[in-house]
A and B are shown apart, each in its own frame.
Chain A
Amino acid sequence: MAEVRVENLVKTFGEVIAVDEVTLTFEDGEMTVLVGPSGCGKTTLLRSIAGLEDVSGGSIYIGGREINRMPPWDRNTAMVFQSYALYPHMTAFNNVAFPLRARRVERSGIRDRVKRVGESLGIGDLLHRKPRELSGGQMQRVALGRAIVRKPEVFLMDEPLSNLDAKLRVQMRAELKRLQKDLGITTVYVTHDQAEAMTMADKLVVMRAGRIQQVGGPEEVYLHPANVFVAGFIGSPPMNFIHCSYDPEASTLNAHAFSWPLPSRFEGAFEQERLDEVVLGIRPEDLIVNLDPEPGETLAEVYVTEPMGKETLLTLELGATMVKAVAPPQIDLNIGDMVGVVFEDDVVRLFDPETEKAIPSS
């Protein structure tokens, strides 16, 4: 077990900068999730820690020791691949035993450890099978077994659940999280799935175009996104954005369809900086839909309704902007109906349209 630290890490592929000056600490025993759209550099960062990519600049430390020049076979990391990468010519047993053999563990020790790991992952009776005789979920477990059997300092997981079907993915997500907590091994987990990232992470790292956008606990990132990108990426359905102009006289935010008094906690920021335009961000679950709008209330037209079972997802035309809202399951609404839209002051996030950064509140 060890802390992993990267400092000013740069990785370029020719002209393309995959990882751009990233400095980050992966705390000892924690699960840190790297999340971002494809091509954001999260997998490259992971592979650099594994030693599978030569870094172009910066340093990587595991347990305080710089390992930039150490080949992957000497770094005590274990990796789980999206493709599982099981050796097809070996049985599940030999797949799990493979890293132990590299470390010259004696034969009886290998047998015991592989069996124990197999039992703990529920694949004890499948160890004699070749990978092609296993289902996706079973292969996933064998791949996990191969990673945990030798008690590495660091787990590296590259989209390990992406190839499983939706139901199994949710199940394995929980098992994987529990396994990581039980073993207490520092884990770097890469995913493009924001829901998976939220549920798994002790610490969430949102990346875009090789750069870190925000680091924090899942709740913190969800509630206080640092910029428009993070706000739009984390959360499903994503946050609604409404372009507004600011009227300093009346201290209101004005959009095409409504006018809203500037929440007092932003007043400080607006006094410091002259902002004519802002982006108002509000999560779909924070939009309250009123079936019988009171006079003077902001109105929106129902564009479409999507019943999801436990709730109904509404798409509303709010002036020139389409917004999403979450409504109770059996709501009686049809296309074209007019509804009232309300929200509380404290759920509103404001962003600077130029820098896309969140405007601080007091």
Chain B
Amino acid sequence: MRLLGKKRLQWVYSIGLVLVISLFCLAPLYWIVITSFKTPGTEFRKPVEYWPSDLSLESYGVILGPQFRIQNAIKNSFIVSSAVTLGALLVNSLSAYTIARLRFKYKIESLILIQLAGMVPPIVTIAPTFVLIRSMGLLQTLWGLILPNIAYNIPIGTWLMAAYFAGLPTDLEDAAKVDGYPPFSTFWRVIMPLAAPGLFSAGVLAFMGSWGEFMLALTISLGLPDAQTVPVAILTFSQRHELQWAWVSAGIVLSLLPVIVMVLIFQKWVIKGLTAGAVKY
């Protein structure tokens, strides 16, 4: 009986902890969503309104209207993030496979070098990146954002994928080799399909990373609308006018929507236990 009581107490503690953490994460999001539906100017009305007394779509009208056209920025973000995701997955899976499976000289050293690059804070590299992109004539273009973002993603992406590849059974690769496939074909036909869950996690990471990336986007776009992504566009709400929190919130909500939709669509692709039954030990 006492044991049962102890267990129950543990359960209450865990649920309580989860609730507190969830509240901590979700409360700001909730605040942003309801603020976006408030009439501009009423955001800080006292007493605090946890549910707006008058729901208004005015902010959405403004930021989607001719003045800001945030849909352009969303489109840009989408193009950049998708391209970064594809590019990063390609580069990272190739480098990760090399590290996880092939034997070559200075393997550990090269892995350490990649990881060291990941420890350099982005602000240190922003100036040289700017110079590089300028010399390539890619300022104010989406390519100017895509290429550096892929590079930023390499350390974490490679590490993630290498860990995943290392966990795949080597028998499958050996079987493919004996079946007549050279390493590169083996990689495409056997390894990549099996790595789908790993690819998905790495892809989500790459997508989110470039979606929310601000510093490089601001630098490369030079503050002009052509190559603006959502975070930079939202910044302009506060520059041209006094800070309109309702607009900013509406911008954030709109920028979140595509990400949420994507996650909902792709989650079914993460098929658990895809490798189950492949190899029996």
Which A residues form the contact surface with B (CB < 8 A)? 47, 50-52, 71-73, 75, 77-79, 81, 83-89, 98-99, 102-103, 130-134, 136, 139, 146, 150, 156, 163
Contact = CB atoms under 8 A, between A and B. Distances in A.
Contacts of B178: 50-52, 72-73, 75, 77-79, 156
Contact of B177 (A73, A83, A133, A150): A73
A182 to B, nearest CB: 22
Interface in B189-246: 190, 193-194
A83 B180 contact: no
Q: Among B174, B176, B274, which residue has the most Cβ atoms of chain A within 10 A? A: B174
Contacts of B276: 88, 132
Contacts of A83: 169, 171, 278-281
Contacts of B175: 79, 81, 85, 87, 146
Interface in B228-281: 273-281
A88 B280 contact: no
A71 B279 contact: no
Max count, chain B CB within 10 A of own CB: residue among A75, A78, A86, A163: A86
12 contacts: A71-B177, A72-B177, A73-B181, A81-B171, A84-B279, A89-B194, A98-B176, A102-B185, A131-B277, A146-B175, A163-B280, A163-B281
Contacts of B181: 73, 102
A103 B180 contact: yes
B179 interface: yes
A86 B172 CA distance: 7
A88 B278 CA distance: 5
Contacts, number: 87
7 tightest A-B contacts by CB?
A132-B277, A102-B180, A88-B278, A85-B171, A85-B175, A99-B179, A83-B279
A285 to B, nearest CB: 35
B279 A52 contact: no
A71 B275 contact: no
A102 B279 contact: no
Contacts of A133: 277
Interface string B157-191: 00000000000010110111111111001000010
Nearest to A102: B180
A88 B174 CA distance: 14
A71 B182 CA distance: 8
B189 to A, nearest CB: 8
Interface string B28-64: 0000000000000000000000000000000000000
B172 A87 contact: yes
A146 B273 CA distance: 23
A88 B171 contact: no
B180 A88 contact: no
A88 B182 contact: no
Contact of A51 (B177, B274, B278, B281): B177
Contact of A52 (B177, B182, B193, B277): B177
Nearest to A80: B175
A309 B176 CA distance: 45
Instruction: Name which of B175, B194, B280, B281 has the most chain A CB atoms within 10 A of its CB.
Output: B175
A89 B279 contact: no
Nearest to B179: A99
Contacts of B174: 47, 50, 52, 72, 79, 81, 85
Nearest to A71: B182
B212 to A, nearest CB: 33
Nearest to B171: A85
A139 B279 CA distance: 10
Which of A89, A130, A150 has the most C-beta atoms of chain B within 10 angstroms of its own C-beta? Answer: A89
Contacts of A86: 277-278
Interface centre among A71, A85, A131 (most CB of B within 10 A): A85
Taking each of A99, A103, A134, A163, which has the highest tally of chain B beta carbons within 10 Å of its own beta carbon? A99
A49 to B, nearest CB: 10
Contacts of A136: 280
Contacts of B176: 87, 98
Given A72-B177, A73-B177, 16 more contacts: A51-B177, A71-B182, A79-B174, A81-B171, A81-B175, A83-B171, A83-B279, A83-B280, A85-B172, A87-B190, A88-B275, A88-B277, A88-B278, A132-B273, A132-B276, A139-B280
A134 B280 CA distance: 12
B195 to A, nearest CB: 10
A79 B178 CA distance: 7
A99 to B, nearest CB: 4
Given A84-B280, A87-B172, A88-B276, A98 B179 contact: yes
B81 to A, nearest CB: 27
Interface in B84-130: none
A136 B175 CA distance: 18
B190 to A, nearest CB: 6
Contacts of B169: 83, 85
B281 to A, nearest CB: 6
